[in-house]
Each structure stands twice: as C-alpha cells, then as structure tokens.
A and B are shown apart, each in its own frame.
Chain A
C-alpha cells in the first residue's frame, strides 16, 4: 500500500467513525427520551423525588437570602454608647473619658455633655416648650465610642461575643449608668444567618446524596430491564462506554426534569408569597419584594442537576456492568 492512498483512506475512516460517534450520541439521547416517555409513571416519580430533594434546600436558600436582604448591613467599626450617671461630677466624667480613651478596644471617644445634649434637643422646636418647663437638666452625659473590634473573616458570632463582653465590662464601671449596644440584635441576626447557611449546606449535601441514590436506583432498574440487550451489545463488540451512554443521558434527563419541576415550584411559591408581601408592604409603605430564583441561578441549577444525574447514572452503570457479564 503506497502512502498517498493510505493516508486519505485512513482519514476517511476516522471521519466516518466520528460521524458515527456523534450519531450515537444523538441516537442515545433520542432513545433515552423515548424510554423515559414509555415508562412515564416511573420517570415522573423519579423526577418528582429529585425535584423535592432540590426544592427543599433551594427554598431554604431563598429564605436565608431574603432575610439577609432585609437585615441592614453591619456597621464597621462597631459603635457603643455609654451614658454616665446624672449625679456624676465633672472630675468623675473626665476620669471616665480618660479611662475609655485608654481602653485597648476603643478607637475614638466623642463626648456630649449633659448641657450640650439639652441644647441639641432644644433646637428641635417641638421639644423646646417642654424643656422650658423642666426644673433641671434630666439628660445624662454621653460618650460615643467607635471600637477597634472588627469581625475577622466575617465571623460575626465571635464579634457579637466580644461586644457583649466589652459591654459588661464598661457597665461595671462605677460612674456608668447604661451601656447601649444598638447593633447587638443585628450582630446576632448575622451570626444566625451564618449558622443557617452552614446548616443549609449540610442539608443540601444530604439531600443531593439522596438524589444520587434515587437516580442511581432508577438507572439500575432500567439496566435490569435491558440486561438482554446489554449482553448482546457486548457480544457484538460494544464498549462499556457505548453501553453506558444512553443511561448517562437518562440520568441527566432525570436531573433536568427534577430541576425544572423544582424551579417551577419555587417560582410559584415566591409569586404566592409576594402577593401577601406586597399587601403588607403597602401597609408599611415599604417596597419589599421577595427575591425568587434568578436566571443565572436557575441555569446553574439545571446544569448542576444534569451533571449530578449523569454522574449518578455513571456510578450505577459501572457497578451493574460488572455484574452482568464476566467481561
């Protein structure tokens, strides 16, 4: 065989094989679709279970994200208000200021004396008349502290603890009447959101494992039904990849159908909740609307579900193939 004729022929053979290869992908997809359809009830059941396993963590995710949207962001650096006792003398107040400034966790101290506080109040017309009638100044002196406490890596749990600790420490000082930590509830909320996200990740992992098992089981049953066919395909020289392909498509299709059902459920849930939310929002003159699944998130969910489905099928087929024929 001379070179000039051998090369194009080999090339021709390869391009034929490639066309056959893609042809088989298309045929496998069509075959999988046909089989899912011919076994509608079982397919619908599998897709529904997959949908639930996806929808539950997705709904929790949306809930957490919506609460996070509602929660105002944390102020950085954290702030604290220290009110002195009204009976405190000028020297005691000066001592307290020095003490606060010297504290390692305090960055700046801004002082508002009782008189200054009263003057600020008096500027507001509605209070002016009322204040005139008072025998003495009822306002305490106020120290506003900005703290050298920052959340490390967004770890708001630790920050909340340290703030609480600092508050107790300052509260114990003799001249201090009250320490106010306006943002403590917010710190707590953010800490809880963080915890919720962690729990969510764990729950999602568990449910996704369930998806792998459910899809794997459906594929396993499909393989059992097609045992005869698989044996014949192997006898006539079909590779494992060839046998596997239609099942991988079936797994991916289960994933996609499940994800589509889950998205549909989530969209209708947010739509229903948003109707009552907008009624509530009109009452409170707010604009709040629940955030449903976004385009990008939905696309990602579909792709990830398809991949997860195919992966589950891959495991199931690989395990079954060895059981079917010796080789």
Chain B
C-alpha cells in the first residue's frame, strides 16, 4: 500500500531531513516510526500527506507515485488518508459533531449519511453522546479521541499519526494505541510517529527507526 523507494528530502537551505529511505507498509499492517527529536519523523509523514515533496526517490501509494501528484489531485488523494496530530487540531468554534463531520462534508457526503457515520466514529472511540459538546469542554484524552474519530470517519485506507500521545499520560497513551490497533485489524495501514520509548516497548508491532534521516527496521526478535 505504501512504498518508499530511496526517498530523500532536503529542505531548501537545510540539511538532509531524510536520506534514501526504503520501506513498505501493507494494508492491515501497523508500524511505529521512532527516533529522536529532529530525526525526520514528521517530514516522512508530511511527504505522505503531500505537504512536502521528496527531493529524490519514488513514494508510491497504491502504485501511484504521489511525489509527483499534480496539485489539483492532492485533495482527492488526501481523502484516502486519516491524519491524527499531537495537538489534535480541533476547531474550537464548532461542536464535536461538526469537527468529526468535516472530512465527510468536504467530499460532499449526504447529510443523513454524515450523521450516521459521525455517530459510528464517535462510538468507536468511546465518545458516543458527545456530539453536541465543544472541544474545549473535553479532557485532553477525549480531545485526542475526537481527533481520531475525525481521522477515521471517512473510512480511510491509511491512518497517519504524528505524536498522537505526546500530551497524554501513559495510561491514556496505551488506550489510544489500542484504538489504532483496532483500526489496523480492520485492514487499515497504520503509521504512528512517536519518540515515546515506553510506548514502543509495550506494543508488539513493526518498528521503523529514524536516526538523522536514515531509516532502519528494528528486529525485535533478536
């Protein structure tokens, strides 16, 4: 589903953030992207979101080189993605319902369908009944779960998360990771960037480690 083929990224005027990165991630697979701060984790995710373009190499998603995706097609490509951020990026002037509904509204889904799917997504993250609340009245963990509901409401095939547990205590972090596990089991490709070593130890899944832009797969069974 996702394939990096010798992908490098150099920011204009900066050093190389990613150098010749190779890896593959299939549907129903989950990988943790680890590494020190500044290792290039966010850069890798931004390439997948086409917020940045690779300097070299091919970045294939479902066989299409999205490194060369025409600007006009970017919105349609992004509708296959679900994205979760550390600071959840919820719109504070709207209700939880309206926040979660956004990915459906931008792709023109009918309103009866929107209601159904938003309810289902909120139920899946354990927030059924919170539709009418404002994000700021929720706890940090709840806000992050609203962010996850928004990321999966349109049933994306790829779920990307950049430090989704960064602001949460270990217990809540584990809960969030369990949620990602559930989406993985339903066939979604999940890629989670984190520098939380403890979290990495708890979970039994692939680990892709970045060190100054160089990626290596950690073999946990050695």
Contacts and interface: CB of A to CB of B under 8 A. Distances in A.
Contacts of A240: 75
Contacts of B111: 20, 23
B50 A236 contact: no
Given A237-B79, A326-B52, A19 B110 contact: yes
Interface string A203-238: 000000000000000000000000011011111111
B91 A239 contact: no
A236 B51 CA distance: 12
B89 interface: yes
Contact of B74 (A18, A232, A327): A327
Contacts of A239: 75, 106
A16 B110 contact: yes
9 contacts: A23-B110, A23-B111, A233-B106, A236-B106, A237-B75, A237-B81, A238-B102, A239-B106, A325-B51
Contact of B89 (A24, A232, A238, A242): A232
Interface string A10-33: 000000111111011001000000
Interface string B153-181: 01000000000000000000000000000
Contact of A236 (B103, B108, B110, B113): B103
Interface residues of B, number: 27
A237 B107 contact: yes
A122 B105 CA distance: 92
B18 to A, nearest CB: 17
B93 to A, nearest CB: 8
Nearest to A22: B108
The dominant DSSP class at the A interface is helix
A229 B91 contact: yes
A70 B75 CA distance: 61
B134 interface: no
B12 to A, nearest CB: 11
Contacts of B79: 236-237
A231 B49 CA distance: 13
A236 B102 contact: yes
A143 B89 CA distance: 92
A16 B91 contact: no
Contact of A16 (B71, B105, B113): B113
Interface residues of A, number: 25
Interface string A228-259: 11011111111110100000000000000000
Nearest to A16: B110
Given A16-B110, A20-B108, A233-B106, A238 B75 contact: yes
Interface in B77-109: 77-79, 81, 83, 89, 91, 102-103, 105-109
A21 B79 CA distance: 16
A231 B89 CA distance: 9
B150 A326 contact: no
B49 A235 contact: yes
Interface string A290-314: 0000000000000000000000000
A326 B105 CA distance: 23
B157 to A, nearest CB: 13
Query: Which among A228, A231, A327 has the greatest number of chain B C-beta atoms within 10 A?
Result: A327
Contacts of B150: 236
Nearest to B69: A327
A251 B110 CA distance: 27
Task: Return the 9 tightest CB-CB contacts between A and B, nearest first.
Answer: A20-B108, A237-B79, A238-B106, A237-B78, A236-B103, A239-B75, A17-B108, A237-B75, A16-B110
Interface in B57-77: 71, 74-77
A232 B91 contact: yes
Contacts of A233: 102, 106
A229 B92 CA distance: 10
Contacts of A235: 49, 78, 83, 89
Interface string A69-91: 00000000000000000000000
Contact of A24 (B49, B52, B81, B105): B105
A291 to B, nearest CB: 48
A18 B108 CA distance: 8
B106 A237 contact: yes
B53 to A, nearest CB: 9
A233 B83 CA distance: 12
Contact of A232 (B51, B102, B107, B109): B102
Contacts of B106: 233, 236-239, 242
A279 to B, nearest CB: 56
